[in-house]
A and B are shown apart, each in its own frame.
Chain A
Amino acid sequence: GAVVSQHPSWVICKSGTSVKIECRSLDFQATTMFWYRQFPKQSLMLMATSNEGSKATYEQGVEKDKFLINHASLTLSTLTVTSAHPEDSSFYICSAHRGDRGVDSPLHFGNGTRLTVT
């Protein structure tokens, strides 16, 4: 149980275009989802916290107008990279927290999206 599906797994886009990444909790309701960015051989950097029905909370240094997050339902959060540039190329990972398992239950991660901007 507790499966998180992230789509697409990889995407190549041209500079200036926008890309949407979806994160779905398949068998549970996710009151909170998190979006991370990971550079090669580095750790995960939290970009933003997404709460269902409210605005996302962005970490310092993350441009909210560039990385649009929408958490319209308890099972879906989307990250849209707007006007993508080559420096946005990275591995983006979402995770979800099961609201019914307490605050110290583990996070469940998607398999990530490899974004390459040419």
Chain B
Amino acid sequence: SQQGEEDPQALSIQEGENATMNCSYKTSINNLQWYRQNSGRGLVHLILIRSNEREKHSGRLRVTLDTSKKSSSLLITASRAADTASYFCATDGNAGNMLTFGGGTRLMVKP
């Protein structure tokens, strides 16, 4: 069953703007991961944040995690047209390496 819910489902912004996507989950976790999927392709891992971490950065990506609210956010700064893709959060739900994916946010960055 799908644990995570993502918000918004779709987001359209101009190049150079920041994009923020949110993810909520239901059970306790060891970690939360964000993945990117280009249309018709597999998923690419972006970043992993552990349950004892609150914020993590990787290049133009910033991820936050609030375990009390069971939520996470992914911020992409200074977006580019090449960032156009679907973004999914995934949680392990204490089930080791088995992940449950959220519904995804479809991001479109217009040049």
Residues of chain A whose beta carbon lies under 8 Å from any beta carbon of chain B: 4, 6, 32, 34, 41-46, 49, 91, 93, 95, 97, 103-112, 114
Contact = CB atoms under 8 A, between A and B. Distances in A.
Interface of B: 2, 30-31, 33, 35, 40-45, 48, 50, 88, 92, 96-104, 106
B104 A107 contact: no
Contacts of B44: 109
Greatest chain B CB density within 10 A among A43, A91, A103, A107 is at A43
B103 A34 contact: no
Contacts of A6: 42
Given A106-B33, A109-B42, A43 B88 contact: yes
A2 to B, nearest CB: 9
27 contacts: A6-B42, A32-B97, A41-B106, A42-B103, A42-B104, A43-B88, A43-B102, A43-B103, A44-B101, A46-B100, A93-B42, A93-B43, A95-B42, A95-B43, A104-B31, A104-B48, A105-B97, A106-B48, A107-B43, A107-B45, A107-B97, A107-B99, A109-B42, A109-B43, A111-B41, A112-B40, A112-B42
